[in-house]
Each structure stands twice: as C-alpha cells, then as structure tokens.
Amino acid sequence: MQPPRVRRPKVSRPPTRLGRSAVVETGSALGTLLLVRIVVTLLGPERSGFTWWFDRVTEPLIWPASQLPGGDVPLVRALTVADLLTPFAIALLGAVALGIIAGWELEGSQ
C-alpha cells in the first residue's frame, strides 16, 4: 500500500488581488504611453506620420486636462501643460484606487 499523494491546492487569486494587478498594469501602461508622448513631442520630427499617429492615439488621455484653464498653453514645441499634468493625474488616480482596494482587503481579513 502506498501513502496518499500530497495534492497541492489550486491557487485562486482573490478578486481584490486581481483588481490590484489590473490597476497597476493599466496605470503603468497608460503612464508609459504618456511618457512616450512627451518624449516624441519633444524629440520627434514635427510632421512625421508616426508623430501624427501617436499624437492622435494618445489625445483621448490628454483631452480632459487640456480642457482646464491653461491646459492648452504650449511650453516647448508642441508640449502643453496638459501633457505634463496628465501623467501625475494618472499616478494619483492609481494610488487612490490601490488605497481603496487595500481597504477592501483589510475589511475582508477582519
């Protein structure tokens, strides 16, 4: 007779861990897009096809900040205040979302 096999339990991630992962991954992807937009705007050629395309793809991320007073003010070349403000806003929203998820995890453990 053989001893029983040790079965490893199936690892399932709780929904809050999945949410935390989703917030971190989404925030890092958006932050990377916005930082690349800043670099392309500063260093890229003015009228190349890629610059135009990348500007149009990332415009919906910048649009809310550009609607604020002074958001459209150009600083260097085509770089605006909204271009610099949006990455900080994304980081702040990500931190708030992570704090909310951490609170849910704390409530669930009690």
Question: pLDDT for 64-87, tens place per residue?
Answer: 999 999 989 999 888 899 999 999
What are phi and psi for residue 83, nearest 5 degrees?
-60, -35
Number of folded domains that form the chain = 1
Is 79 inside a domain boundary? yes
Is 10 inside a domain boundary? no
Which domain does 85 fall in, by range? 18-109
Question: pLDDT for 21-66, tens place per residue?
Answer: 898 999 999 999 999 999 988 887 777 888 888 889 999 999 999 9
Is 2 inside a domain boundary? no
The string of DSSP letters for 41-110 reads: HHHS-TT-HHHHHHHHHHHHHHHHHHTSTTTT-EEETTEEHHHHHHHHHHHHHHHHHHHHHHHHHHHHH-
Is 94 inside a domain boundary? yes
Q: Which amino acid appears at position 97 of this protein?
A: A
Is 6 inside a domain boundary? no
Structure tokens at 62: 């910048």
Is 60 inside a domain boundary? yes
C-alpha span between 2 and 35 (Å, rounded): 60
